[in-house]
Amino acid sequence: MTKKLIPLIAANWKMHGDMSWAQKPVELDAAFPIAEREHLELLICPPFPLLPALHVVAGPLNIRVGAQNCHSEIKGAHTGEVSAELLADAGADYVIVGHSERRASGETDQNVHDKAVAANRADLIPIICVGESLEQREAGDAIKVVADQLNKSVPDIEDYVIAYEPIWAIGTGKIPTMDDISDMHHAIRKRVGQDIRILYGGSVKPGNASEILAVPNVNGALIGGASLEMDSLAAIAKAAS
Ligand code: PEP
């Protein structure tokens, strides 16, 4: 039997914010109170130093926190890196792996695979990002490119989330047609099965969220720019619930 997938609205704050942003969940809860959010999972992925403080504020408001990256190993001489185990210890439930901004600076499918394995080892749920470039889309190769990324980046684990993020839609205000999103999510669904949530990411805003979130096999969104203002994040989350 197919289980009903609870939508996931995930905020990727990227390299934004300061320690005062640990209080943002209070603003978010004021805009979209906990009692109205039963059928939805809300997640904020801040820069690393904010994680523990954000977790303390977000936890009681039923808002989860996650990280934007992790290392594949448990510990070692890896200056500047953070293990999945430490992220879990700091309060994270999720970790984004393979975001296109990281793939662009050299992260390979194998790296993404190994990070997803590490997340699973630490009891974190990896959000594995995939997506094509504009050139690949225009050449008609989008579905093939994403299938190849899925084959190489998704390990044999039970619990994970896929985020389909066309690179050309991230931070540009451009989005694919709803038919293109539907075709891609259908192709991903065939590969990952019925129990895995597939998020759409790339210029999701309050004005387009309802339409995107109504597309079959879209089980939530990964949101960059529009997640920095709690009113707009709340508006997108309301569209999903
Ligand atoms: C992202 O970077 O994951 C993203 C979806 O960004 P934006 O919403 O700003 O396009």
What is the C-alpha separation between 130 and 236, in angstroms, rounded? Answer: 22
Q: Write out the two tokens for 211.
A: 């339409």
Q: Tell me what pLDDT residue 1 has.
A: 42
Residue with tokens 């990964």: 222
Mutate-to-test residue for ligand 1 from 12, 43, 96, highest number of ligand atoms within 8 A of CB: 12
Mutate which of 105, 162, 222 for ligand 1 pocket (most atoms within 8 A of beta carbon): 222
227 in contact with ligand 1, CB cutoff 6 A: no
Check: CB of residue 39 under 8 Å from CB of residue 5: no
Structure tokens at 37: 């959010």
Which residue's alpha carbon is nearest to atom 7 within ligand 1? 224
Cα separation of 199 and 41, whole Å? 12
The one-character DSSP state at 12 is E
Per-residue pLDDT band at 3 (split at 50, 70, 90)? low
Q: Is the pLDDT of residue 197 over 50?
A: yes
Q: State both tokens at 145.
A: 């490119």
Q: What is the Å distance from ligand 1's center to 225 Cα?
A: 6
Other beta carbons less than 10 A from residue 82's beta carbon: 17
Q: How far is the CA of 162 from the centre of ligand 1 (A)?
A: 14
Query: Tens digits of per-residue pLDDT, 38-96?
Result: 999 999 999 999 999 999 999 999 999 999 999 999 999 999 999 999 999 999 999 99
pLDDT of 2 higher than 80: no
Q: What angle separates helix 178-192 from helix 142-153, to the nearest 10 degrees?
A: 30
Q: Taking residues 2-22, what's their average pLDDT?
A: 93
Q: Right CATH number for 8-229 from 3.20.20.70, 1.10.150.120, 3.60.21.10, 3.90.1170.30?
A: 3.20.20.70
Give 221 Cα–ligand 1 centroid separation in angstroms.
9
Question: How many angstroms is it from 1 CA to the middle of ligand 1?
Answer: 33
Closest C-alpha residue for ligand 1 atom 4: 224
Ligand 1 atom closest to the CA of 100, numbered from 1: 2
**Residue 237 CA to ligand 1 centre (angstroms):** 15
Q: At what angle do helices 109-121 and 142-153 cross, to 10 degrees?
A: 50
Residue 237: the pLDDT is: 98
- Is 168:203 a contact under the CB 8 Å cutoff? no
Which atom of ligand 1 lies nearest, measured to the CA of 225? 9
Query: Which of ligand 1's atoms lies nearest the C-alpha of 12?
Result: 3
Which residues are known to be catalytic? 99, 165
- pLDDT by residue (tens digit) across 120-179? 999 999 999 999 999 999 999 999 999 999 999 999 999 999 999 999 999 999 999 999
Do 219 and 5 touch, CB atoms closer than 8 A?
A: yes
* Cβ 173 under 6 angstroms from ligand 1: no
**Rg from Cα positions in the chain:** 17
Reduced to 3 states, what is the DSSP secondary structure of residue 66? Answer: strand
> Would the CB of 170 count as within 6 Å of ligand 1?
yes
Q: Which of 30, 32, 31 is nearest to 40 (CA)?
A: 32
How big is the CA angle at 113 (ends 110 and 115), to the nearest 5 degrees? 110
User: What is the tens place of the pLDDT at every residue in 213-232?
Assistant: 999 999 999 999 999 999 99
Check pocket membership of 202 for ligand 1, CB cut-off 6 A: yes
Containing 164, the helix (H) or strand (E) segment is strand 161-164
pTM for this prediction: 0.97
pLDDT at 231: 98
